[in-house]
Chains A and B, each alone.
Chain A
């Protein structure tokens, strides 16, 4: 039973397209995240949500729009895709924002923009 699941796992698309990545966690956690891992393997936070509310937006271009319909889901929509958006995107969750908690990751979504 996958704790944090994200779809699709692989996505190849052309520049200028719009795409979405979906994420769901069945851990009952309050806090969810999107991380981006670039070709140099740097893991950088993009967004943090707590109980469906946006808490952190780390200077991400507004072409990226997260949406949290409920606290178990955090989807990522990307408009007008650019070559530099090619990366692995990780969804993650933790029990809450303030506690001493472990962060659990999905398997990643490999986005390639051509």
Chain B
């Protein structure tokens, strides 16, 4: 079965510091896509970053970057220079044919 695991239910980071959210997944496929989504209290799902498995280079979007370790099936999200607006639930997701599978989420708190 395809699964996505986020082992950290909650994380805290001081404003302006760096935090890393973990995600592991299980798949037998060789070509796939991975995503991180942010969900603020409004519950809107916002795409943060995506990674193609065939690309060795880690994706980067401004202060957000991933550490993609294909052999280890690990896909962590690093947030640099954390801001108060980064406080939210973060979901890791894996794309399977016809559906996207989401992890259980990590709640990120940003401390002023």
Q: Is the interface of B mostly helix, strand, loop or mixed?
A: strand
Does A66 have its Cβ within 8 Å of any Cβ on chain B? no
CB distance from A38 to the nearest CB of B (A): 11
Does B102 have its Cβ within 8 Å of any Cβ on chain A? yes
Residue of B nearest to A47 (CB): B99
- In the bound complex, do residue A41 and residue B100 qualify as a contact, i.e. CB atoms below 8 Å apart? no
- In the bound complex, do residue B43 and residue A103 qualify as a contact, i.e. CB atoms below 8 Å apart? no
Q: For residues 1 through 45 of chain B, which have their beta carbon under 8 Å from a beta carbon of chain A?
A: 33, 35, 39, 42-45
- In the bound complex, do residue B98 and residue A31 qualify as a contact, i.e. CB atoms below 8 Å apart? yes
Question: Could you say which residues of chain A place their CB within 8 Å of the CB of B101?
Answer: 45
Number of A-B contacts (CB under 8 A): 55
Question: Could you say which residues of chain A place their CB within 8 Å of the CB of B33?
Answer: 100-101
Count how many chain A residues have C-beta atoms less than 8 Å from C-beta atoms of the other chain.
Answer: 29
Binding site for A on B (CB under 8 A): 33, 35, 39, 42-45, 47, 50, 52, 89, 91, 93, 95, 97-102, 104-105
Starting from the known contacts A48-B98, A94-B100, 5 additional A-B residue pairs (CB-CB under 8 Å) come to: A33-B100, A40-B104, A43-B91, A101-B95, A102-B35
Can you identify 26 A-B contacts, CB atoms within 8 angstroms?
A31-B98, A33-B100, A42-B104, A43-B91, A43-B102, A43-B105, A45-B99, A45-B101, A55-B98, A56-B99, A90-B45, A94-B100, A100-B33, A100-B52, A101-B33, A102-B35, A102-B50, A103-B35, A103-B93, A103-B95, A105-B44, A107-B42, A107-B43, A108-B43, A108-B44, A108-B45
